[in-house]
């Protein structure tokens, strides 16, 4: 999910209700926890990639995650789980590699690869909503459609906005230390980081006080509900997206699992 300060995303997915983008892949993500074959997570991984690449204009960093990080994670997780598989479970399968008294069998490699693909498919399905949804839109949809109390939703959104604020304050503090002649070095690094703690805490307290005063000035929490300036409606296309994705998920399980 993008932060509240991130630029708005473009594409067909960006026009959908955030709840639809999280509800559509949710059943498939839950079901993938229990599958053990190779084909099912591979098909869902391809499906998630197709939805993301065709339905959203992703920034370079997100494309790097899809193209580089996820495949690398599949390899690392697959090798790691293949090494730790109980040999008794894969007894009788052909050997692929033998080093001394240890051997990697085809059954162990299949179990490790299936685990890596399963985790990658779940991650890619979660990215359908996470990479195409702005934080404020998700909060508004939770408040407007799921009737989450706005005091919880907008308080959580205010807390999320502390993260980029801390990053900005840390950059300012580091620049101030450089201007005052703070020198680098391996031994001085812990001392410099320790010197960042107090200014960061002071800035956090000041920012929290300003946010609290602004919320009080707007009578935050005085009424059980508030008038929304920006509406995030649930449209027919949101229902259609959820129904089509659920139908595709059922079709994948019905076709692939028996094979």
pLDDT tens digits, 88-98 = 777 777 877 77
CA dist 141 and 147 (Å) reads: 9
Query: What's the pLDDT at 123?
Result: 94
Q: Report the pLDDT value the prediction gives residue 31, as an integer from 0 to 100.
A: 94
CB count within 10 Å of CB 245 equals: 22
The predicted-structure confidence for 239-249, as pLDDT tens digits, reads as follows 999 999 999 99
Question: What pLDDT does residue 237 have?
Answer: 94
Q: Tokens standing for 186?
A: 């391996």
Is the Cβ–Cβ distance between 56 and 12 less than 8 Å?
Answer: yes
Please report which helix (H) or strand (E) contains residue 136, including its range.
Answer: helix 135-144
CA distance 129 to 142: 14
Please state, in angstroms and rounded to a whole number, the distance separating the CA atoms of residues 248 and 259. 17
Given phi > 0 = left and psi -120 to 50 = alpha, else beta, which region is 93?
beta
Per DSSP, the three-state class of 105 is: strand
DSSP at 13: G
Buried b (16+ CB within 10 A) or exposed e, 82-95: beebeeeebeeeee
* Contact by Cβ (8 Å): 103, 82: no
- What region, left, alpha or beta, does residue 86 occupy, with left being phi > 0 and alpha being psi -120 to 50 degrees? beta
Q: For each of the chain's 259 residues, which pLDDT tens digit applies?
A: 444 444 445 678 888 999 999 999 999 999 999 988 899 999 999 999 999 999 988 888 889 999 999 999 999 999 888 888 877 777 777 877 777 777 778 888 888 999 999 999 999 999 999 888 888 888 889 888 888 888 888 888 777 778 788 888 888 888 887 777 665 555 566 766 777 788 888 888 888 888 888 888 877 777 777 777 788 889 999 999 999 999 999 999 999 876 6
pLDDT given for residue 10 in this prediction: 62
Query: Of 244, 232, 257, which Cα lies nearest the Cα of 141?
Result: 232
User: Tokens 């602004």 — which residue?
Assistant: 214
What confidence score (pLDDT) does residue 186 get?
53
Q: What is the pLDDT of residue 105?
A: 83
Provide CB contacts within 8 A for 46, sequence distance 6+. none
The model carries a pTM of: 0.78
Q: What is the pLDDT of residue 188?
A: 64
**CA-to-CA distance for 1 and 19, rounded, in angstroms?**
12
If you compute the radius of gyration of the chain from its CA atoms, what whole number of angstroms results? 24
Q: Which helix H or strand E contains 238, and what residues bound it?
A: helix 236-256
- Which residue has 């999910």 as its token pair? 1
């Amino acid at each position: 999910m993008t932060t509240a300060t991130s630029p708005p995303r473009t594409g067909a997915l960006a026009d959908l209700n955030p709840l639809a983008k999280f509800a559509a892949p949710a059943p498939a993500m839950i079901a993938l926890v229990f599958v053990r074959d190779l084909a099912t997570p591979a098909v869902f991984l391809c499906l998630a990639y197709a939805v993301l690449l065709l339905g959203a204009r992703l920034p370079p960093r997100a494309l790097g995650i899809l193209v580089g990080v996820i495949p690398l994670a599949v390899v690392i997780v697959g090798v790691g789980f293949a090494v730790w598989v109980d040999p008794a479970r894969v007894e009788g399968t052909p050997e692929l590699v033998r080093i001394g008294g240890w051997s990697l069998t085809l059954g162990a490699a299949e179990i490790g690869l299936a685990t890596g693909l399963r985790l990658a498919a779940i991650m890619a399905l979660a990215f359908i909503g996470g990479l195409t949804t702005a934080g404020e839109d998700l909060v508004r949809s939770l408040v407007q459609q799921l009737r989450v109390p706005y005091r919880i939703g907008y308080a959580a959104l205010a807390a999320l906005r502390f993260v980029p604020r801390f990053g900005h304050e840390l950059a300012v503090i580091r620049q101030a230390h450089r201007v005052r002649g703070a020198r680098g070095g391996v031994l001085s690094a812990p001392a410099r980081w320790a010197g960042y703690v107090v200014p960061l805490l002071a800035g956090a307290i000041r920012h929290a006080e300003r946010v609290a005063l602004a919320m009080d000035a707007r009578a935050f929490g005085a009424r059980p509900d508030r008038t929304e300036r920006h509406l995030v409606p649930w449209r027919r296309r949101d229902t259609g997206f959820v129904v089509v994705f659920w139908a595709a998920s059922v079709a994948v399980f019905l076709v692939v699992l028996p094979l």
